[in-house]
Amino acid sequence: MSSPVPTLVALLHGPDQPGLVARVSGWIFERGGNILHADQHRDMEAGVFFQRVEWVPANGNASADTAAFQAFAASLGMNARVASSAQRPRVAVFVSKFDHCFHDLVLRHRAGDFVGDLVAVISNHPDLAPAAAAYGLPFYLIPVTAADKAAAEARQLALLRELQVDLVVLARYMQVLSADFLEKCGGPVINIHHSFLPAFAGGKPYHQAAARGVKLIGATAHYATAILDDGPIIQQDVARVTHRHDVDDLIRKGRDLEKSVLAQAVRWHLENRVLVYGHKTVVFD
């Protein structure tokens, strides 16, 4: 069976101006490329244009088109990021003791749901080591305490560099990453928070929700930033609850939300469907 022809995906944004869609598609046509999918959005208030376009470059010449398209986008005053399907992102999953998101991600990965490779499971506890071994995944135990947090993060950063990790996924990793770690890790970090942010940020959100008597609980997948639970949101979902549901009921319902929301966010990111600008995202789903 022949290998699939590599495609390119460009995410671009910048000041809106007439003819952008035509100029982008024209550039691809003139170079002999074939557009597979294109979508765009305009922020009416900010006057910003966003586009995701995927195409097959002529003669599979992905590397040449990548550099050329970035230069072309710059000539339009646009910021552009171009990715090739031939380069599968390398993913590391950070876990603690909760295992529901971990198992869900691994099983989806094994089923071929993600266009990336899971190269490491990194944890501050040994609890999930047997499960990782059963899946045939490398497991790295790096304990973290208040006294040695900086040293532990330095070991994590060294491991990420060694493994050439492109994306870190926090699958209910119960540690707050420092601003220094986020700056040096070399790629985005996706976190799952077990509430409908910005409500109930921080610890024990289901307990907070139960105390407030909410009628909806949620889960939020977002990019991690130096401010806790405040990064650009990728995906959210909710479930209805009533006065009859106690904290355990909320936690049980919430686990289903956490799994699906995190998986969707990871999938969209790996497929280059998420464009971050300011404190927001545009998701070309």
d(CA 240, CA 276): 29
d(CA 230, CA 51): 25
SS3 labels along 237-273: EEEECCCCCCHHHHHHHHHHHHHHHHHHHHHHHHCCC
CATH number assigned to the domain with residue range 90-283, chosen from the 4 options 3.40.50.150, 3.40.50.170, 2.60.120.340, 3.30.70.920: 3.40.50.170
Fold agreement (8-84, 90-283): no
d(CA 89, CA 105): 15
pLDDT computed for residue 228 by the predictor: 85
* DSSP 3-state of 36: strand
> Of these residues, 16, 117, 229, 237, which one is catalytic?
229
d(CA 46, CA 83): 26
The answer to whether 14 and 65 are in contact (CB under 8 A) is: no
> For 100-137, what is each residue's pLDDT tens digit?
999 999 999 999 999 999 999 999 999 999 999 999 99
Class of domain 8-84: alpha beta
Give the CA angle between residues 231, 126, 136 to the nearest 5°: 90
Residue ranges per structural domain of the chain:
8-84, 90-283
pLDDT computed for residue 3 by the predictor: 55
pTM (two decimals): 0.93
Residues of the chain with pLDDT under 50: 1-2
pLDDT computed for residue 210 by the predictor: 86
Q: Is 246 a catalytic residue?
A: no
pLDDT computed for residue 194 by the predictor: 83
pLDDT computed for residue 217 by the predictor: 85
pLDDT computed for residue 278 by the predictor: 87
The answer to whether 230 and 255 are in contact (CB under 8 A) is: no
pLDDT computed for residue 9 by the predictor: 97
pLDDT computed for residue 1 by the predictor: 43
